[in-house]
Structure 1
């Protein structure tokens, strides 16, 4: 139960290698898969975790090996979080950059294709932001976590019939 079948440092090394490889695979798969987990994506992550288990533990099912791997993965994740917080270049390398999907009503289809965002996904994000049409959008950005931020065009406040905007805004100045 407590005896290791390999030296402790081998578990640490295996854990770091698998952590880096899975991180790279998820990064390459695109932002949508990370930010908007579908049932298929969840199954994929569960199967990946099962597939890499033996690569990390070398067939050792001892409690000690499991604890070493758990600590290794948590520490690796913490270190990666810290260094990406400290280094903007490394953060961009690991997490990517936000991508502009829509600007002033113009949809950038090449970016949507590259990031695997369908028009249905974009329209869903726009509806959640309260947009009726893509022409209402000042910009829509695919964030690094896979969410879409939407800023609509500013609309002037409604005025009563027969009044001008200048009068309403400057009524204190009028004598």
Structure 2
């Protein structure tokens, strides 16, 4: 049950490669799909669940293998965050930034196209902030967590977007 079935270096390398590949793929796909969680949060949840799954049910790897792989993935997450904190150029590669979605009532079509959003979807999000018309928006950003933050043209702060009711 506790025997190491796979060489430890192989587990560490597998964890490192999978983490970096998935991080890159999630950055390419875009930030809109992540919802309220940050991209790295989603990445960690998926990787940890997959890495320890076999160890929990005992069909493909030992508990020790799963623990080492999960530790490697968590270490990668911390290392990427630390490197992004210390090296701004690296942060620009691995951390999502807010994207300018609306400026002075005009939609940024490049961002819409990049994030596969329609103008109707943006208007729907604005209504959640209590804004009926694009002209009422001075500036709006698509935030890294997928939410839209809005500053109104009149200088006021719109109401907070409401959260969907729990089922």
Q: TM-score normalized by structure 1?
A: 0.72
Paired residues for 1:50-61 under 5 Å = 50=50, 60-61=60-61
Equivalent residue number for residue 20 of structure 2: 20
Question: Which 5+ residue runs of structure 2 have no aligned equivalent?
Answer: 157-167
> Are residues 1:125 and 2:125 paired?
yes
- Two-structure CA RMSD over aligned residues (Å): 2.7
Q: Which residue number in structure 2 is paired with residue 162 of structure 1? A: none
Measure the CA separation in 2 of the matches of 1:31 and 1:144: 6
Q: Secondary structure at the match of 2:73?
A: helix
What secondary structure is seen at the aligned counterpart in 1 of 2:141?
A: strand
How many residues align structurally? 144
Q: Where in structure 1 do 4 or more consecutive aligned residues deviate above 4 Å?
A: none
How far apart, CA to CA, are the structure 1 residues paired with 2:146 and 2:83?
21
Q: What is the CA–CA distance in structure 2 between the aligned matches of 1:117 and 1:100, rounded to whole Å? A: 13
TM-score after normalising by structure 2: 0.75
Q: Is the 8 A contact 2:31 2:146 kept in 1?
A: yes
Deviation, structure 1 residue 118 = 2.1
Is 1:91 aligned to residue 91 of structure 2? yes
Aligned twin of 2:79: 79
Runs of 5+ unmatched residues, structure 1: 157-175
Corresponding residue SS for 2:101: strand
CA-CA distance at 1:77 after TM superposition: 0.6
1:134-149 to structure 2, matched below 5 A, reads 134-149=134-149
Deviation at 1:102, TM superposition (A): 0.7
> Which of the pair has more CA radius of gyration?
1
